[in-house]
Chain A
Amino acid sequence: MPTDTCNRVLVERYALGEGGLELRQATRRHVDACAACRGLLTALETERRDYLTLHPFREFSARHLDGHRPVGKAVLEGHAFLPRWVPALAGLATCLLILPLVQHRLLNAYSDAFPNGASDVDPTGIRGKGVSSSQGPGVMEYFFKRDGQVRPGGPGEAYRSGDELQFVYAGGGYAYVSLVSIDSRGAVSLYREAGATSAETSIENSAVSVKAKNERPQPLPFGVTLDDSPGSEFFVMVFSAAPIEAPVLQHWLEDAYTKSQNGLEGLSKSTLTPPVPKARIKTLLMRKDRV
């Protein structure tokens, strides 16, 4: 930069830390000597601070990154959370279309596998928190689909990327159920139904809770496909009287993870306090194999 000429683009690039050392030094010299460019630099910095005060990263992250974090898991449904990922999930979209059929098969498989209902056996290794599974309310079970085969999830089963999970719950009188998970790097995923209307999930409040049906065990209206992030995934199902906001669930699980002495393993063994009063939680630590 000729130091006697004003160049606002250079000042902007300087403010962003762009350009090589020599260019940056020349720009700095000009800015130091030029009141107009100094004023611009100050204004740009003020503007940045103001913007970040009004729109902090955590707000953007809760709104746009959670539930479809770039290197996190693919969410089988939930285009409200992942508009940008829909094309990448085209294969999964096919699964969405057949979801009603799959649900049928899942529920049949479910009744075959658990003729007495889920409440008196715990074949899946899902551990109840806050309430024992034999007492209801709130039951969380899951099935997984691999190579076209639907099977009930079980203890000691190692999961792979690409496995599709279908969670099944029994509402037990709770009005809403939410699913949230965290991986071994501490990244939280939230899930919700694709195209869900406010009647179903209160999307206008950024809540991720599904209105619970209570007649019999129900599959969640969306599936989850495991991604290739390494390590385990810790799932939590939250049963509540009212919808829960996405950021509340996110921060709650992040905090719990931060306090855990021993990562997800420690988190799965600790006694978690539910994210909102009078809620119940069910947890599941899912181990993944790298294939």
Chain B
Amino acid sequence: MASTGDRTRQQELYEKYAPVIYRRCLRFLRSKEEAQDATSDIFLKLLEHWDSVQNQESALFWIHRTTTNHCISLWRRRKFQGPDNEEGWEDSPLHADDSVEKRIILRDILNKLMFPWNKAVREIVMYTYWDGYTQDEISTLTGMAPSTIRKYLTRFRRQAQQWKLEKLEGEHAY
């Protein structure tokens, strides 16, 4: 961790990444206070693992993955039943246009995703339905081939059928 030991470097990293982490945590957790706590935890993790994070193609991807897993584990720990609170939803410029219907669908999906699930599939599902990213965008973020992304989504949709999430049907195509 020697590379992030000095305060100036830490400050640079904080000013660059903490706002990104916070935005994502807020989308997951809704509460500004909880999002702030999670941001601190994740940013400390980033400092701790900076040597490996900076060697990755994209720190943004590391942040997406770490934040997603961190927040889902928080949900599970507190048995959170999905984002029933709408507050904070509009805070993100990425999601200002989410419809009420889509939010309900997301809530249903997220409730299901609270349960153990293949992590790689869950990650792609989150990017698709939670973040609303297109397959191109997910490919840019993760470096994953679009065909793999499609395969994962197919698996998830098959599962979703069993969950009788019929509402999802209209939301597939991105």
Contacts and interface: CB of A to CB of B under 8 A. Distances in A.
Contacts of A65: 7, 10
Given A9-B137, A40-B93, A57 B15 contact: yes
Contacts of A12: 20, 60
Contacts, number: 87
Contacts of B52: none
A69 interface: yes
Interface string B1-31: 1101111001100111111101100000000
Contacts of A5: 136
A71 B5 contact: yes
B90 to A, nearest CB: 12
Interface stretch (B41-49, B72-80, B151-159): B41-49
A51 B19 contact: yes
Contacts of A61: 7, 10-11
A83 to B, nearest CB: 9
A139 B34 CA distance: 42
Interface residues of A, number: 33
Interface residues on B, range: 35 or more
A60 B137 contact: no
Interface in A58-87: 60-61, 63-65, 69-72, 84
Interface of A: 5, 7-10, 12-13, 16-19, 39-40, 43-44, 47-48, 51-52, 55, 57, 60-61, 63-65, 69-72, 84, 185, 187
Interface of B: 1-2, 4-7, 10-11, 14-20, 22-23, 36, 39-40, 43-44, 47-48, 58-60, 93-94, 133-134, 136-138, 140-141
18 contacts: A8-B137, A9-B60, A9-B138, A12-B20, A18-B59, A40-B93, A40-B94, A43-B93, A44-B93, A47-B19, A48-B20, A51-B19, A52-B15, A52-B18, A57-B14, A65-B7, A70-B5, A71-B1
